[in-house]
Amino acid sequence: MSFTIQNVLIPTSEGYQTVNVQIQNDRILAVTSPCAQGSAPNLEVIGTAIDGTHKLLLPGFVNAHTHSSEMWQRGMIPPVPLELWLAELYEFAPLDPEQAYLSAVGTAIETLMTGGTSVVDHLVLIPGKEIETIAAANRGYREVGIRAFIAPLIQDEVMSAGLPTGGDEVSHGSYDRSTKETLNLVQEAVEQFHRPDEGVEILVAPTGIQLCSDALFEGCIELSDRYNLSRHAHLLETKAQKLLADEKYGCSAVQHLKDIGWLSEKTSLAHCVWLDEHDIKILAETRSTVVHNPLSNLRLGSGIAPILKYRQAGVNVAFGCDGSASNDSQDLLEAVKIGSILHSVTDPDYQHWITPRQSVEMAALGGATGLNRADQFGSLEVGKKADLVMYDLKSLSLLPRTDPIGLLVLGRPVNVVSHAWVNGKQVIADHEICNINVNDLKEKLFDQSEWTPKRKSIAVSETEARYRSVMGLSGNSIGYS
């Protein structure tokens, strides 16, 4: 399979340039060299010709952290902090692998339609149906054709262990699956579903220090080394997690993760809101990646991650939407916009602020780097995978003609992706998803859900008093709604 995109605009260091791009099989074969002003680019057409006139071609972005099955609860959970939000989320989590399939398809489609060609799904596993959950997501991603990094979310401690004790004696039950069994599960997932050449990878992905033992992290490191798997986890998303880390390790969580060997150029860490200067140095030294989820951090009141400090320290940063119940969408362009301009209020020196071109590079190459796959995709370079997105510069939200990337990042782009390819295979044509019947998906999502604006969570009322106490919040827990 080969094709040639003709007369398409691409960014250059000088501005923009109109080129032809040849794709052969799964890779970029050639891009026309600069041509004299006014003359058409001349590169032989191979395979099908695609008209790129009045379109902008960019490398596909990476939705570098999400949880697909949260789609079933989006718009539902009231504005509360992560620890209470999680209690409600898990109480009502979907239990049918068919739902995991549908929400993976929905997540893939929303990611693709907003410039993404890869998704990192920190996938919540249905208890007792763990492999079926992974199989369902795998099927969904393959059908849509997005590049998928499925990161089965694992832990080996019970939910209540995720809150700091504040010095009180608190005892927790034991988790319902042993550390060894959990690691075996990940290994089974790798053997069944890890197929990098086909665009599906399995990651080792303990949820984070708040619910995982060192033994679980170490087992994941061993699997990561043995199978060359990327590593993923949440890190210091909330102040409560920072307090917990101090209690648990007597040092910073980042220092501890470095000491046990978790941090590396294969490691991406979601959120990273509560890190200090010393932690930031460690991330830079170990070449770990921060995945910035600005909308989730705002939605849950987690804080503003010090993204400008990461960038100045040389830490790689990627963008994620986070799950659809803490965002509550998978609009990657929205995450890129908010995740870029939010930080201008954190530093008066505007020379540190993130420019639209830097945002695009973080979203594409930053994402690939965080997966240790920057040699494979993330930029428009000959030899790299053809994970490409074409934006329609005649869409109303990208008009009038100013600076295409400036408007794409700072504007409010609506339905601007006209074409996209993953691994050289077309996934969007003329603004439509190619490989899945979207109307069919919409019908199923509608039929399998119901309006429930007034549900009550028992788990939240059980957790709330302790949360308020350890976080020093005065007043009683009165429930919320």
Contact between residue 320 and residue 289 where contact means Cβ atoms under 8 Å apart: no
Beta carbon of residue 63, minimum distance to Zn ion (angstroms, whole number):
12
Q: How far is CA 174 from the centre of its chain?
A: 30
Encoded one letter per residue, x for contact with Zn ion by CB under 5 A and - for no contact, window 274-313 reads: ----------------------------------------
Positions in 114-133 near Zn ion (CB under 5 A):
none
Contacts 24+ apart (CB under 8 A), 280-288: 280/306, 280/309, 280/310, 280/313, 280/315, 281/313, 282/254, 282/255, 282/258, 283/254, 283/310, 283/313, 283/315, 284/313, 284/314, 284/315, 286/258, 287/316, 288/263, 288/264, 288/315, 288/316
Beta carbon of residue 338, minimum distance to Zn ion (angstroms, whole number):
16
Nearer to Zn ion, 110 or 392 (CB): 110
Alpha carbon distances (Å) from 168 to 165, 320, 469, 470, 474: 5, 36, 11, 9, 18
Nearer to Zn ion, 22 or 324 (CB): 324
Positions in 308-337 near Zn ion (CB under 5 A):
322
Beta carbon of residue 151, minimum distance to Zn ion (angstroms, whole number):
10
Beta carbon of residue 46, minimum distance to Zn ion (angstroms, whole number):
42
Q: β-strand 27-31 against 16-24: which pairing, if any?
A: antiparallel
Q: How far apart (Å, rounded) are the C-alpha atoms in residues 300 and 297?
A: 5
Nearer to Zn ion, 300 or 386 (CB): 300
Beta carbon of residue 54, minimum distance to Zn ion (angstroms, whole number):
38
Residues ≥6 apart with Cβ < 8 Å to 369? 289, 316, 318, 378
Positions in 439-458 near Zn ion (CB under 5 A):
none
Sign of CA dihedral 174, 99, 73, 336: positive
Nearer to Zn ion, 26 or 322 (CB): 322
Beta carbon of residue 219, minimum distance to Zn ion (angstroms, whole number):
21
Ramachandran category for residue 434: left, alpha or beta (phi over 0 → left; psi -120 to 50 → alpha): alpha
Nearer to Zn ion, 291 or 368 (CB): 291
Q: How far apart (Å, rounded) are the C-alpha atoms in residues 423 and 427?
A: 10
Nearer to Zn ion, 156 or 322 (CB): 322
Size of the site for Zn ion (CB under 5 A): 1
Nearer to Zn ion, 52 or 208 (CB): 208
Beta carbon of residue 111, minimum distance to Zn ion (angstroms, whole number):
15
Of 105, 96, 98, 192, which is closest to residue 140 (Cα–Cα)? 105
Beta carbon of residue 17, minimum distance to Zn ion (angstroms, whole number):
38
Beta carbon of residue 323, minimum distance to Zn ion (angstroms, whole number):
6
Q: Using CB atoms, what's the residue nearest to Zn ion?
A: 322
Encoded one letter per residue, x for contact with Zn ion by CB under 5 A and - for no contact, window 129-158 reads: ------------------------------
Nearer to Zn ion, 88 or 322 (CB): 322
Beta strand spans in 69-214 (E): 116-123, 147-152, 200-202
Beta carbon of residue 82, minimum distance to Zn ion (angstroms, whole number):
9
Of 275, 182, 170, which is closest to residue 223 (Cα–Cα)? 182
Residues ≥6 apart with Cβ < 8 Å to 222? none
How far apart, in Å, do the first and last CA atoms of the chain sit?
Answer: 55
Nearer to Zn ion, 291 or 363 (CB): 291
Phi, psi dihedrals of residue 412, rounded to the nearest 5°: -125, 75
Nearer to Zn ion, 151 or 183 (CB): 151
Positions in 459-478 near Zn ion (CB under 5 A):
none
Per CB under 5 A, residues contacting Zn ion are 322
